[in-house]
Amino acid sequence: MNTRLNPAKASRSAAVKARLENPVIDTDVHVNDYAPVLEDYIAQYGGPKLVDALRKALGGRFVTRDGAGKDWYQQSPEERAHHRTLRAPWWARVTRNTYDLATYTIPALLYERLAEQGSDYSVLFPNDVLSPAAAGSEYRQPLHRALNHFHADQYRAYADRLTPVAGIPMHNPKEAIEELEFAVNILKLKVINIPGGVRRPIPAIAEKYPAREHPEIAKHVGYIDFYGIDSPHDYDPFWAKVVELGVPVTTHYGSQGWTGRHSTSNYMFNHIGHFADGSQAFAKALFFGGVTRRFPGLRVGLLEGGADWGSHVFTHLVDRWEKRNRHAVRNYDPAAVDVDLLAALFDQHGADLLQGRAVDKATLVRDSLGISALPHSREPNADEIDDFALAGIESVDDIRARWVDPFFFGSEADDRTVAAAFNHRVHPGGVKINAIWSSDVGHWDVPEFTEPLAETWDLVEQGVISAQDFRAFTFGNPLRFYTEANPHFFDGTAVGRQLGLAA
């Protein structure tokens, strides 16, 4: 047979790309790791023991077990309900389209096929990049280091069009900074991916029920530290190092398993909206904790959750600040009630309500407002009545600078809700939200590698977004995301050549 195994195809997306005057930047491509080669790298960092730790971390990533060690598929429906065993993601990658499966696994083939996809530059997220976070503390750093080293070597020859992210553990700032510096300074990787939160034990419960003695309790009882607010650690040194090194931060943080996303039988029930919810919690922590105020150069990409949630959170931040800033919130202080006027109004208008009862001025505010008027053990201080204090919000422009400017929202190619990001008429100040084009190829929601750009252009033809929005989505906003963090990000790349940047 003379037929090529991988013939180039004339795709719909290539036809769209041929009409464009600007490059296309794909901010989210998922690739697979070829295990035998990967495990050679892991062994170099820690021998067979570290390879076993990786296999355990990968094997347990989406497998939930009951106390007897049975996974979801081994349990009966009754056992799943009894143990509340989460229905985790399943069949999550491309398989039937074998050509695409190979594309996501073989770097040279992915590089060769970018023209079919219609993109000029892709940021790669190896599917296993954050799996080491599931390993114990003894293995977490060496596994991250080995994985990042493997990915850097695999894609170095294709750096003009492809760059993999570095996975960074976030269990504590010291560990995060060490792996950040290794990834950027030694491996020369230039984008990082972090978990949007770390699950920690609640101290009061952990003291009473230590994890070693009560593992089932520890598995179910804890809280999520989103780094920016209420954290037991000060992560400012990490954010400072990120800005110093000029690194864009990304996350694919999800919320499957949270309350409301813990079906024991239905993956889709757990899946829809979970990236948006997880990333929203992380982003709000950075905002309310003042991280985006203290580090205005920080740029964060929140991927796979769409951009509509970024739109409505911005709008709601403004709405709530206008009603509950440190001055306006005094409108709701029970001490501000004019008790004499309230009593007079009861006397004048309340006969039917009172049914002969006398009004007691001493308890009238409490009796009218209920629990919201119960006295505190002390009066709250100024910071305690201003939820926007750490963020330093004095105006709507401050909210824009600390929410709209630093955050970029990864939206998939066929996501019609991206229109919300570009609908400046609904946003305070007429701003637009930073939606960035994220094809998500490599995952089940993209069964055909070459379709995403064309699917986005379909939104233009359907009137969902404008051609100007399309350009901002696929080029302008991604360009700003990377270059606002690092002005030299695209030097020497295919995008850089088209823009006339330095070699």
Cα–Cα separations (whole angstroms), residue 499 to 130, 139, 469: 33, 42, 20
pLDDT digits 0-9 by tens, 418-459: 999 999 999 999 999 999 999 999 998 899 999 999 999 999
Cα–Cα separations (whole angstroms), residue 176 to 78, 181, 242, 455, 486: 41, 9, 10, 37, 20
Q: State residue 303's pLDDT score.
A: 97
**pLDDT of 318 above 70:** yes
% of the chain with per-residue pLDDT over 70: 95
Q: State residue 350's pLDDT score.
A: 94
**Residue 1's pLDDT band (cuts 50, 70, 90):** very low
pLDDT digits 0-9 by tens, 370-425: 876 666 777 788 778 999 999 999 999 999 999 999 999 999 999 999 999 999 99
Query: What domains are there in the chain, each with its CATH number?
Result: 16-34+82-323+390-499 (3.20.20.140), 326-385 (no CATH)
**pLDDT of 5 above 80:** no
**pLDDT of 293 above 70:** yes
Cα atoms found within 13 Å of the Cα of residue 384, Cβ hemisphere only: 6
149, 187 in Cβ contact below 8 A?
A: yes
Q: Kindly report the number of other CB atoms within 10 A of residue 10's CB atom.
A: 8
Alpha carbons 452 and 382: distance in angstroms, whole number:
50
Alpha carbons 206 and 267: distance in angstroms, whole number:
30
Alpha carbons 25 and 161: distance in angstroms, whole number:
9
154-182 CB burial, b ≥16 within 10 A, e <16: bbeebebbbbbbbbbbbbebebbbebbeb
**pLDDT of 70 above 90:** no
Maximum CA pair distance of the chain?
100
Alpha carbons 437 and 479: distance in angstroms, whole number:
11
- Average pLDDT of the chain, as a whole number: 92
Angle, CA of 400, 403 and 409, to the nearest 5°: 120
pLDDT digits 0-9 by tens, 270-287: 999 999 999 999 999 999
The residues, any chain, with a CB within 8 Å of residue 393's CB and separated by 6 or more, are 321, 325, 399, 402
239, 298 in Cβ contact below 8 A?
A: yes
Tokens 């039937």 map to which residue?
96
**Residue 8's pLDDT band (cuts 50, 70, 90):** low
DSSP reduced 3-state for 122: strand
Q: What is the separation of C-alpha 253 from the centre of its chain, rounded to a whole number of angstroms?
A: 4
Max mean pLDDT range (85-99, 176-190, 320-334): 176-190
**pLDDT of 25 above 50:** yes
Which pTM was predicted?
A: 0.94
Strands 25-31 and 121-126: parallel
> Among 80-84, 121-125, 216-220, 353-357, whose mean pLDDT is lowest?
216-220
119-131 CB burial, b ≥16 within 10 A, e <16: bbbbbbbbbbbbb
**Residue 62's pLDDT band (cuts 50, 70, 90):** low
% of the chain with per-residue pLDDT over 90: 77
Give the pair of three-digit tokens for residue 482.
């990377």
